[in-house]
Amino acid sequence: MNEHTNQPVYRAFTVIKREGQNDFWAPIGAAFPHGDRLGFNILLQALPLDGKVVLRPAKEKDPVETPE
């Protein structure tokens, strides 16, 4: 399987804390499974300032606020 032709199984986010508001989930990349399903290629378009990346199952619509 080519990582550019299959869909990501996880989306990568950085969570930005905001006082008095819901956290903001900024999408920064995606994780694609290896052909043998024993690992992932993680492609990031940005790096979080705090060093923490959150992976969530890929959905049609990405969260931009705290997920339920």
Domain positions in the chain? 10-57
Amino acid at 8: P
pLDDT value, residue 62 = 57
Q: What is the predicted pLDDT for the residue at 48?
A: 94
- Following CA atoms 60, 65, 66, 68 in sequence, which dihedral angle do they give, to the nearest 10 degrees? -50
- Mean pLDDT, the chain, rounded, equals 85
Residues in the chain: 68
Q: Judge if pTM exceeds 0.85.
A: no
Q: Please name the residue that has the structure tokens 């043998």.
A: 36
- pLDDT tens-digit readout, 24-51: 999 999 999 998 989 999 999 999 999 9
Do residues 64 and 21 touch, judged by C-beta distance below 8 A?
no
pLDDT band at 63 (very low <50, low <70, confident <90, very high): low
Please report the beta strands in 1-68, taking only residues with DSSP state E, as ranges in sequence order: 10-16, 24-33, 40-44, 54-57
